[in-house]
């Protein structure tokens, strides 16, 4: 009986301790959750509601706003350009970042090099835009070298200029994340592979890369989200109506807001949010399946 009472007291103390820790955890998260609910979830819920209403007549119109945006040529063009930009930039950014990180990982001056890679992120967007104008405008450095008179931002080359700008500015944090993953790999594993006769390429393929799956997931998600934030550069270079190849979703939202097309804006915003959530969920599922195997 004494043993049973002692066991119950111990279980009771353990349960109280767990409840106290759980309460502390909720108290710690509550301010953040309140902020997210007040500034993200509730406004987005209102956007979802507005996507089914007409602002002009203040009446319920069902999926009429969604039908309008999918019949809108500007929306379809913006979706195509944004999807193309994302599909090109993310693989290039990931591969360049991984290559640079592998080359830098063993260098003694790696801290200085990390600072140099992060420097573009510290530059104001207006400064970055001025640099690109000096390089790619009709009287820019590229034309002076090639002895041509071409305004690259007024041709289909504008897309590739925007790709270069995005990769150049975001390569730094990608390299830093890759380096953190590489440095987190136990040295004993790599040494064991060397002892077994594995060369550098074999070590990278069979030892290092499998250990970096979590870092790859983080970089892919961050790069995917950041690819939707390149609007500032394109807007400052070419204005609200740039060359057709770089007319992105952000241009479309900006122009609809300027003429108060709030119905279509709400429907398009909901569609973009659904796609973003679906892609992130799919990436999460793919990584979980890969790790399980």
Give CA–CA dist 153/160, Å, rounded.
9
Establish if 270 belongs to a structural domain: yes
User: Pseudo-torsion of CA 81, 84, 90, 95, nearest 10°?
Assistant: -140
Angle formed by the axes of helices 231-238 and 249-258, nearest 10°: 60
Least confident of 40-49, 81-90, 114-123, 280-289: 114-123
Same domain, 259 and 138: yes
Same domain, 129 and 33: no
Computed over every residue of the chain, the mean pLDDT equals 79
Same domain, 218 and 183: yes
Establish if 55 belongs to a structural domain: no
Residue 29 lies in domain = 2-50
Cβ atoms of 104 and 179 closer than 8 Å: yes
User: What's the pLDDT score for residue 13?
Assistant: 61
Establish if 60 belongs to a structural domain: no
Same domain, 83 and 38: no
Residues pairing with 53 in the sheet: 60
Same domain, 128 and 21: no
Number of Cβ within 10 Å of residue 221's Cβ equals 16
Give the CATH number, domain containing residue 182: 1.10.3720.10
Q: Which pLDDT tens digit goes with each residue over 1-49?
A: 545 554 555 555 665 667 777 777 777 778 888 887 888 888 888 888 8
Establish if 278 belongs to a structural domain: yes
Domain count for the chain: 2
């Amino acid at each position: 009986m004494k043993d049973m009472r002692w066991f119950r007291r111990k279980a009771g103390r353990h349960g109280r301790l767990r409840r106290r820790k759980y309460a502390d955890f909720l108290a710690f998260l509550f301010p953040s959750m309140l902020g997210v609910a007040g500034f993200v979830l509730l406004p987005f819920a209102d956007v979802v509601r507005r996507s089914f209403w007409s602002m002009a007549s203040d009446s319920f119109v069902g999926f009429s706003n969604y039908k309008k945006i999918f019949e809108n040529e500007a929306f379809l063009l913006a979706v195509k350009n944004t999807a193309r930009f994302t599909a090109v930039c993310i693989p290039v950014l990931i591969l360049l970042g991984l290559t640079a990180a592998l080359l830098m990982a063993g260098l003694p001056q790696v801290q200085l090099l990390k600072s140099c890679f992060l420097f573009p992120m510290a530059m104001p967007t207006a400064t970055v835009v001025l640099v690109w104008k000096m390089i790619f405008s009709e009287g820019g450095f590229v034309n002076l070298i090639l002895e041509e008179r071409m305004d690259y931002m007024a041709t289909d080359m504008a897309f590739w200029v925007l790709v270069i700008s995005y990769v150049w500015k975001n390569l730094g944090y990608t390299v830093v994340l890759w380096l953190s993953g590489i440095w987190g790999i136990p040295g004993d594993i790599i040494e064991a592979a060397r002892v077994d006769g594995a060369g550098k390429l074999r070590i990278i393929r069979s030892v290092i890369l499998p250990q970096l799956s979590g870092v790859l997931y983080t970089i892919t998600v961050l790069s995917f989200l950041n690819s939707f934030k390149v609007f500032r550069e394109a807007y400052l270079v070419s204005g609200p109506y740039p060359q057709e190849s770089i007319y992105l979703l952000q241009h479309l939202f900006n122009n609809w807001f300027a003429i108060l097309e709030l119905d279509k804006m709400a429907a398009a915003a909901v569609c973009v949010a659904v796609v973003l959530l679906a892609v992130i969920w799919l990436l999460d599922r793919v990584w979980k399946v890969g790790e399980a195997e």
